[in-house]
Amino acid sequence: MEQNYPIKRIIDDTGMIVDASFEEQINEKLVKELYYNMQRIRTYDRKSINLQRQGRLGTYAPFEGQEAAQVGSALALQADDWVFPTYRDHGATLTFGKSMARTFLYWNGRVEGCIPPTGRNIFPPAVPIATQLPHAAGAAWAEKLKGTKNASIAYFGDGATSEGDFHEGLNFASVFKVPVVFFNQNNGYAISVPMEKQMNSATIAQKSVAYGIPGIRIDGNDCLAVYFETKKAFEHARNGHGPTLIEAVTWRKGAHTTADDPSKYRPDKQGENIVDPMVRMELFMKNYGYWDEKWIQEMTDKIIREVESAVEEMENFPAPNVEDVFDHVFAEMPAQLAEQKEAYLAHLERR
């Protein structure tokens, strides 16, 4: 079955174009936009890990190695589309327009970190596995009923395909031909469980057959392939043809979260032969005349300033109001909860 789902790519590991059919659509503006966003979210990701190690951020889920998959897919979206991320897709949401400071706040356990900017339809990250897939199908169905051209994208990992919500989401979306793209980032592991131990399928893309929808595999470390193939899937959806299942084959370079030790379950040197998506894009830019040292330096300085400013905004954000825990759970506060609130406020006054 694997041979029926070959991995689509536009540039190879050395940065050379291997699919000339897209060559006319590639231009300097697009290439620089892709690279800028990849560099931006990698800088954010590494800063987040440092902040967590310093005790300035809570447990964090890094995504280094998956920048091409997240940036390429997010840039294929239109402004009124819907994004349903997991806990590892903050690179995609940042690319789609979410505030960097608010994203830091999310990782500090603040509810304000779940609020998207005005004009962007971004759901809070789904920590339960695969629950966002039916939500994405539902939002897409609503857009179809309203007669818009808006679509939704659901991000999920390989482990999510073993959950019931995966099958329910794909089945619903295929039956009603709703405009949704199911974007799987197959990074090889569901926390510590390798793909071959949680499914008997050679690929994730082939699971599309059961629902009568297109399924494709792409090189998730090739940002150009991700962008153009995801854009094609959105066009398919917007034209009334229903969902597509995309399997972006990529690699999680680091730990599942900052509370995880991948050396306990991943063999030594596994993944060392995988070319970093940033390196591949840099090689491509140099091969085809898009590399500009002055622009690179200006871009790097701009990103560092943005990240440091976002950290400062996060750390200077007003302290949470403890009363919110009591006030926003029930429409009418039960007597027992009111007593707890009163007791806690009295405790604060005595301190």
pLDDT in tens, the chain (351 residues): 678 899 999 999 999 999 999 999 999 999 999 999 999 999 999 999 999 999 999 999 999 999 999 999 999 999 999 999 999 999 999 999 999 999 999 999 999 999 999 999 999 999 999 999 999 999 999 999 999 999 999 999 999 999 999 999 999 999 999 999 999 999 999 999 999 999 999 999 999 999 999 999 999 999 999 999 999 999 999 999 999 999 999 999 999 999 999 999 999 889 999 999 999 999 999 999 999 999 999 999 999 999 999 999 999 999 988 888 899 889 999 999 999 999 999 998 887
Which one of the listed residues 53, 265, 305, 328 is annotated catalytic?
265
**306 and 327 both lie in a single domain:** no
Q: How many helices (H) and strands (E) does the chain have?
A: 11, 9
**295 and 332 both lie in a single domain:** no
User: Tell me, what's the pLDDT at 32?
Assistant: 98
**CA 235 to mean position of chain CA atoms:** 20
Helices (H), 223-271: 223-236
Contact 48, 107 (CB under 8 A): yes
Please name the amino acid found at residue 38.
M
Please name the amino acid found at residue 335.
A
9 classed as catalytic? no
Phi/psi class of residue 188: alpha, beta or left (left: φ > 0; alpha: ψ in -120 to 50)?
Answer: left
Query: CA–CA separation, 283 vs 299, rounded Å?
Result: 18
**95 and 238 both lie in a single domain:** yes
Which one of the listed residues 42, 236, 256, 280 is annotated catalytic?
256
Please name the amino acid found at residue 305.
R
User: Tell me, what's the pLDDT at 328?
Assistant: 85
350 classed as catalytic? no
Q: What is the three-class DSSP state of 175? A: helix
**254 and 234 both lie in a single domain:** yes
256 classed as catalytic? yes
Contact 198, 159 (CB under 8 A): yes
**330 and 314 both lie in a single domain:** no
**CA 243 to mean position of chain CA atoms:** 18
Cβ neighbour number for residue 209 with a 10 Å cutoff: 14
Contact 72, 26 (CB under 8 A): no
Query: CA–CA separation, 166 vs 245, rounded Å?
Result: 11
Which one of the listed residues 42, 102, 252, 280 is annotated catalytic?
252
Number of folded domains in the chain? 2
User: Tell me, what's the pLDDT at 297?
Assistant: 98
**232 and 338 both lie in a single domain:** no
User: Tell me, what's the pLDDT at 201?
Assistant: 94
**170 and 181 both lie in a single domain:** yes
Q: Which domain holds residue 339?
A: 321-351
**162 and 217 both lie in a single domain:** yes
Contacts of residue 220, defined as CB under 8 A and 6 or more positions apart, other chains included, come to 66, 68, 69, 185, 186, 226, 248, 249, 250, 277
Eight-class DSSP state of 6: P
* 152-157 and 215-219 beta bridge pairing: unpaired
| 228: CATH | 3.40.50.970
**CA 21 to mean position of chain CA atoms:** 27
Closest to 179 measured CA to CA, from 130, 132, 143, 231: 143
Query: CA–CA separation, 23 vs 348, rounded Å?
Result: 65
**309 and 339 both lie in a single domain:** no
* 189-190 and 193-194 beta bridge pairing: antiparallel
**333 and 287 both lie in a single domain:** no
**196 and 294 both lie in a single domain:** yes
**63 and 164 both lie in a single domain:** yes
Query: CA–CA separation, 10 vs 339, rounded Å?
Result: 63
User: Tell me, what's the pLDDT at 322?
Assistant: 85
